């Protein structure tokens, strides 16, 4: 710390030692701490150290300790009280005042404007991401922080910091990332204040060449339209993201059209979980168990050849009984089997878009607290914060040079010779 006034005769450590000795003599009542618990000791310890540090700053500024005489102008003139919220709760500090000095003392221990410790300020955006609305901060944290609560300005700063982080995340450069698998999916949320209708929030997340997962983009997309999906993909493309080796999608027609427009040559895999739900929707409930078992033989086969035979068997077994279900399966079944071309070690991760589906459940749990959002920015920011928090729990995939080569080979093979299920094509033509 820079010294004030004339050059001090003592070291900084000496001033702190003098201040600590004075503080212990004047202002510590050990009996009052007995039976108060660890939190009381922590708060009083924090108060003592902060006050000692401020007293040392005053001594260094004046060039003399308590009850000492000196040549420098100025003298101590009592204290003023102020409150500060720190990790152990709210404490009341005695901030020293001086009079008649040349120059102004600016305490660096606790700046004049500070009412909450930086650590608390940094944790507020995380609490917001966990689903606490602004009005919940004080109620939720009051007991934990010894009734301190939080001011509206502190909550506002937390939100602004979250907005700033989200804005920076949306602008980051993506040109150096190589995406192996890009997952594209959306879910619906009430966004507009006073509106009962839900709007689509479209999300892209990826598995990168090192096997890690990363959230890539989020946009608002009413009804998951082609325009909305194209806006998301164009944003990723504009920031330098190259087409992935494989895009995992849910079969949304607008998304398929957008992919063909922005990345016309990208390979697509349709989520088998979505396809399974679509097929079962066409089957009476009492028959769904056996139909689902047959679908499992397709999507959990040991290899592509076995999956092809399972498709043939499904259409033959249920063609007369559930023609609509068979038509639903036959449509785009080729794209549902694309994952079989890629390394078997990755099948479990790329067969479905369930990583996002599970994340969306977590987002809904947290956004349920807010009920609705005042504007688009607040909705997208909270969804982003929730997904980024949840992403830390996402498991990546194993990647090495052999697997990377296998992925490149699979992509080239699939581009040159797409999967075609003849029985499905014949079924659609016959229908």
142-183 pLDDT tens trace: 444 444 445 555 556 666 777 888 899 999 999 999 999 999
pLDDT at position 70 is: 62
pLDDT tier at 431, thresholds 50, 70, 90: low
pLDDT digits (tens, 9 = 90+) for 59-103: 767 766 665 666 666 666 667 776 665 544 566 666 777 676 666
Lowest mean pLDDT among 10-24, 70-84, 225-239, 385-399: 10-24
Question: In the prediction, which pLDDT does 272 show?
Answer: 96
Give the model's confidence band at 283: pLDDT under 50 very low, under 70 low, under 90 confident, else very high: very high
State if pTM tops 0.95: no
DSSP 88: T
Cα separation, 60 vs 177, in Å, equals 53
Q: What is the mean pLDDT of residues 390-406?
A: 85
- Residue 3: band (very low, low, confident or very high) from pLDDT cuts 50, 70, 90: very low
DSSP code of residue 116: B
Give the per-residue pLDDT at 366: 67
Task: State the pLDDT confidence band at 249, using cuts at 50, 70 and 90.
Answer: very high
CA within 13 Å, CB half, 418: 14
CB 379 within 8 A of CB 163: no
Percent of the chain with pLDDT over 90: 42
Whole-angstrom distance, CA of residue 352 vs CA of residue 296:
13
**How does pLDDT run across 192-236, given as a tens digit for each residue?**
655 667 778 899 999 999 999 999 999 988 778 899 999 999 999
Nearest to 203 by CA among 390, 385, 396, 384: 384
Q: How far apart are CA 354 and CA 360, in angstroms?
A: 9
Amino acid 43: pLDDT: 57
Which one, of 311, 322, 360, 354, lies nearest residue 198 by Cα?
360
| Greater model confidence, 108 or 274 | 274
CA distance 40 to 330: 68
Contact between 419 and 356 (Cβ < 8 Å): no
- Widest distance between CA atoms in the chain: 106
What is the average per-residue pLDDT within 252-264?
Answer: 93
Give the per-residue pLDDT at 385: 78
pLDDT over threshold 60, residue 125: no
Say which range, 92-106, 111-125, 280-294, has the weakest mean pLDDT.
Answer: 111-125
Domain residue spans in the chain? 12-115, 119-170, 176-430
**pLDDT band (50, 70, 90) for residue 248:** very high
Q: Using an 8 Å Cβ cutoff, are 311 and 332 in contact?
A: no
Q: How far apart are CA 118 and CA 319, in angstroms?
A: 66
Per-residue pLDDT at 380: 83
Strands 213-220 and 246-249: unpaired
Separation CA 267–CA 244 (nearest Å): 8
Cα-Cα end-to-end distance for the chain? 83
How far apart CA 173 and CA 342 sit, in angstroms, is 28
Task: Judge contact between 350 and 181, C-beta under 8 A.
Answer: yes
> What's the pLDDT score for residue 117?
46
Pairing of strands 179-189, 89-99: unpaired
Whether 40 has a pLDDT exceeding 90, the answer reads no
pLDDT of amino acid 58: 75
DSSP track, 234-269:
HHHHHTTPPPPSEEEE---HHHHHHHHHHSTT--EE
Torsion, CA 317, CA 321, CA 323, CA 326, rounded to 10 = -30
pLDDT at 372: 60
Checking if the pLDDT of 1 tops 50, the result is no
pLDDT digits (tens, 9 = 90+) for 341-359: 999 999 999 999 877 777 7
Highest mean pLDDT among 4-8, 173-177, 394-398: 173-177
Burial-class residue 123 by CB neighbours within 10 Å (0-12, 13-18, 19+). Answer: middle
pLDDT in tens, 414-430: 999 999 999 998 888 77
Above 50 in pLDDT, residue 115?
no
Q: How many residues are recorded in the chain?
A: 431
In this predicted structure, what is the pLDDT of residue 188? 82
pLDDT at 30 over 60: no
Contact 387/357 with Cβ under 8 angstroms? no
pLDDT in tens, 287-325: 999 999 999 999 999 999 999 999 999 999 999 999 999
CB 399 within 8 A of CB 406: no
213 backbone dihedrals φ, ψ, rounded to 5°: -105, 145
d(CA 52, CA 57): 9
> Which sign does the torsion angle of CA 375, 378, 384, 386 carry?
negative
Mean pLDDT of the chain, nearest integer: 77
Q: Which 8-state DSSP code applies to residue 103? A: S
Tokens of 330: 């036959």
Question: In whole angstroms, what is the distance from residue 17 CA to residue 57 CA?
Answer: 12
Q: Which has the closest alpha carbon to 183: 212, 215, 231, 210?
A: 215
Give the separation between CA 308 and CA 313, rounded to whole angstroms: 9
Q: How many other CB atoms are there within 10 angstroms of residue 412's CB atom?
A: 12
């Amino acid at each position: 710390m820079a010294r004030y006034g004339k050059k001090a005769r003592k070291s900084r450590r000496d001033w702190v030692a003098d201040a600590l000795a004075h503080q212990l003599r004047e202002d510590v009542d050990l009996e009052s701490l007995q039976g108060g618990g660890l939190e009381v000791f922590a708060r009083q310890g924090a108060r003592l150290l902060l006050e000692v540090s401020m007293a040392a700053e005053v001594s260094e500024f004046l060039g003399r300790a308590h009850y000492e005489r000196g040549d420098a102008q100025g003298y101590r003139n009592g204290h003023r009280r102020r409150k500060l919220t720190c990790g152990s709760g709210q404490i009341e500090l005695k901030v020293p005042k001086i009079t008649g000095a040349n120059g102004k003392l600016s305490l660096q221990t606790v700046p004049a404007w500070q009412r909450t410790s930086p650590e608390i300020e940094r944790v507020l955006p995380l609490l917001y991401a966990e689903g606490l609305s602004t009005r919940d901060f004080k109620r939720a944290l009051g007991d934990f922080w010894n009734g301190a609560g939080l001011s509206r300005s502190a909550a506002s700063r937390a939100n602004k910091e979250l907005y700033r982080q989200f804005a920076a995340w949306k602008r980051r450069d993506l040109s150096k990332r190589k995406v192996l698998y890009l997952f594209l999916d959306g879910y619906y949320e009430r966004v507009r204040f006073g509106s009962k209708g839900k709007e689509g929030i479209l999300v892209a997340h990826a598995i990168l060449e090192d096997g890690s997962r990363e959230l890539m983009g989020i946009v608002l997309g009413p009804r998951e339209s082609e325009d909305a999906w194209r806006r998301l993909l164009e944003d990723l493309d504009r920031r330098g993201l190259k087409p992935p080796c494989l895009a995992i999608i849910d079969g949304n027609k607008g998304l398929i059209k957008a992919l063909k427009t922005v990345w016309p040559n990208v390979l697509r895999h349709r989520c088998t979980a979505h396809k399974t739900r679509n097929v079962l929707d066409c089957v009476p409930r009492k028959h769904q168990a056996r139909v689902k078992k047959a679908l499992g033989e397709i999507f959990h086969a040991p290899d592509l050849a076995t999956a092809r035979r399972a498709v043939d068997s499904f259409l033959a077994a249920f063609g007369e009984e559930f023609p609509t279900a068979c038509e639903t399966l036959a449509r785009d079944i080729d794209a549902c089997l694309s994952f079989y071309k890629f390394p078997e070690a990755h099948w479990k991760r790329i067969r479905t878009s369930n990583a996002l589906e599970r994340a969306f459940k977590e987002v809904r749990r947290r956004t349920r607290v807010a009920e609705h959002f005042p504007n688009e920015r607040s909705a997208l920011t909270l969804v982003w914060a929730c997904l980024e928090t949840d992403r830390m729990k996402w498991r990546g995939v194993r990647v090495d040079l052999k697997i990377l080569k296998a992925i490149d080979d699979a992509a080239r093979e699939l581009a040159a010779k797409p999967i075609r299920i003849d029985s499905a094509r014949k079924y659609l033509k016959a229908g």
